[in-house]
Amino acid sequence: MKEQLANYIKSIITVTEEELVVILSYFKSSTAEKNELLVVHGQTNQRSFFVGSGCLRIYFITEDGQEATRYLAFENNFATALCSFISNEPSLEFIQALEPTELLYISSSDFYYLLEVIPAWEKFYRYYLEKAYVNNTNRLMSFLTLDATERYKQLMSINPQIIQRLSNRIVATYLNISQETLSRLKSKRY
């Protein structure tokens, strides 16, 4: 799986083989069972996860007690409760494995150490932050400007594996619609 991460890193930044060896040496492997929580609300998140296989979900609980899924990470994606990771404060989010998941993770202290010793890692971090910002902004805009049907159609065109691989309950929390609405949309086969 480290080769998978190496390929991902090399697709984003230019690093020497020596730098890549150093970067990879800070990543540890782990597995998570289906539905296992890797981070819980109130816990300080000190890890960034790279998904080798499976799926991680980042979600929070709304004021009325409902789950709201903020981000889904499948293979070759990173996932972390970023605000907690950066601020070192308790997380307001949960990170959960939705499938049996193989992971690599790096601690925040090691991640920030790499920023000090490998200049190219800053470019990787900037890419990661920019991608997270664009993702979150696009999701927020979709909630404010699109109705349920349009959000569903957008998801089908941008990331259909979410609908194909995950339960209706999870997809509904990602689209911020009811499961009943999702079932109606799926039956129309957009």
Q: Is residue 51 part of a domain?
A: yes
pLDDT of residue 184: 94
Question: Could you tell me if 45 and 109 are in contact, meaning their C-beta atoms sit under 8 angstroms apart?
Answer: no
Q: Is residue 83 part of a domain?
A: yes
Q: Is residue 172 part of a domain?
A: no
User: Mind listing the pLDDT tens digit for each residue in 22-33?
Assistant: 999 999 999 999
Residue 188 clears pLDDT 90, i.e. is over it: no
What count of Cα atoms within 13 Å lies in the side-chain half-sphere of residue 189? Answer: 0
Q: Is residue 19 part of a domain?
A: yes
pLDDT of residue 165: 95
Locus of tokens 């989010």? 93
Q: Is residue 152 part of a domain?
A: no
Residue 104 CB partners (closer than 8 Å, separation 6+)? 1, 2, 5, 27, 28, 29, 30, 49, 50, 52
User: Mind listing the pLDDT tens digit for each residue in 118-130?
Assistant: 999 999 999 999 9
Instruction: State the residue range of the domain holding 31.
Output: 1-105+112-117
**CATH code, domain carrying 92:** 2.60.120.10
Question: Could you tell me if 166 and 133 are in contact, meaning their C-beta atoms sit under 8 angstroms apart?
Answer: no
Q: Is residue 142 part of a domain?
A: no
Question: How many domains does one find in the chain?
Answer: 1
Other beta carbons within 10 angstroms of residue 114's beta carbon come to 19
* Whole-prediction pTM: 0.91
Q: Is residue 94 part of a domain?
A: yes
Q: Is residue 43 part of a domain?
A: yes
pLDDT of residue 190: 63
Query: What type of residue is 140?
Result: L
Q: In what order do the strands lie in the sheet with 67-73?
A: 37-39, 94-97, 56-61, 67-73
Mean pLDDT of 147-176: 94
Query: What type of residue is 77?
Result: N
Distance from C-alpha of 98 to C-alpha of 121, rounded to nearest angstrom: 29
